[in-house]
Amino acid sequence: MCERFHRQMKAAIKCHASEDWVEVLPLVLLGIRTAWKDDLAASTAEYVYGQQLRLPGDFFESSGQDAPADYTDFLTRLQLIMRKLQPSPVARHGTHKVFVHKDLATSTHVFLRNDAVRKPLQPTYTGPYQVIERGDKFFKILLKGKPNNVSIDRLKPAYMLGEPDLSPAPNQQLAAPPPAKAERRTRSGRVVRFPSYL
């Protein structure tokens, strides 16, 4: 209920188009308190004070006899104004394209963006996943052992390190293989295997 009242009060303050909302606030609250409520058949000020509040216009007495208002003329003018109203055309400033990395066309593996709500410090991308098939808008990747179609908007290329090149360079001789270590056996004949860190 409070939030609804605050929404109404903020909308009324915005209508005044003034940055100094403190000066506008009393007038806005006066208008809200003296507004007629159909369900109550009264205003809130009448319920609190037992009578209507005096509005600023009531302080000035009208000089002379006012002419009766012509509501039919007002209605026709309002209809003419409303007929002339037209929505302004929307201006489009170029086409907005989604950024797609150029290396996606050649990469063998990709990272997949996780669009779900993430926990703190959880990585944005998972992977890398192998690319099975490429399309204009979708890639088929190997995800958890199964092929899945994924939009390219969620992908970025993964740069994989290639297998080390073991072929010798020209004018370089192959190094001799390291000598095989002699197996150590126990008295019963079992092979002794030491941990790699020893």
What single DSSP character describes residue 185?
A: B
Q: Is the pLDDT at 120 greater than 80, yes or no?
A: no
Provide the CATH topology of domain 102-158: SH3 type barrels. (2.30.30)
Average pLDDT rounded to a whole number, residues 50-77: 66
Q: What angle do CA 190, 194, 196 make, to 5 degrees?
A: 145
Asked whether the beta carbons of 151 and 137 are under 8 A apart, the reply is yes
Average pLDDT rounded to a whole number, residues 84-108: 75
Using CA atoms, how far residue 68 sits from 18, 57, 61, 65, 71, in Å, is: 34, 18, 16, 9, 9
DSSP letter string, 117-149: PPPTT--SEEEEEEEEEE-SSEEEEEETTEEEE
Average pLDDT rounded to a whole number, residues 123-132: 85
Average pLDDT rounded to a whole number, residues 172-195: 70
Q: Is the pLDDT at 47 greater than 60, yes or no?
A: yes
- Which residue type sits at 160? M
The band of 61, judged by pLDDT with boundaries at 50, 70 and 90, is: low
pLDDT at 198: 54
| pTM passes above 0.85 | no
Q: Beta strand pairing status for 146-151 and 36-37?
A: unpaired
Helix (H, G, I), strand (E, B) or coil at 157: strand
Residue whose pair of structure tokens reads 């394209």 in the numeric block: 97
pLDDT at 135: 86
pLDDT at 86: 77
Average pLDDT rounded to a whole number, residues 42-67: 70
Q: What is the mean pLDDT of the chain?
A: 76
Helix (H, G, I), strand (E, B) or coil at 30: helix
Residue ranges of domains in the chain: 1-57, 102-158
Q: Is the pLDDT at 60 greater than 70, yes or no?
A: no
pLDDT at 49: 79
Asked whether the beta carbons of 140 and 149 are under 8 A apart, the reply is yes
Q: How far apart are CA 151 and CA 112, in angstroms?
A: 10
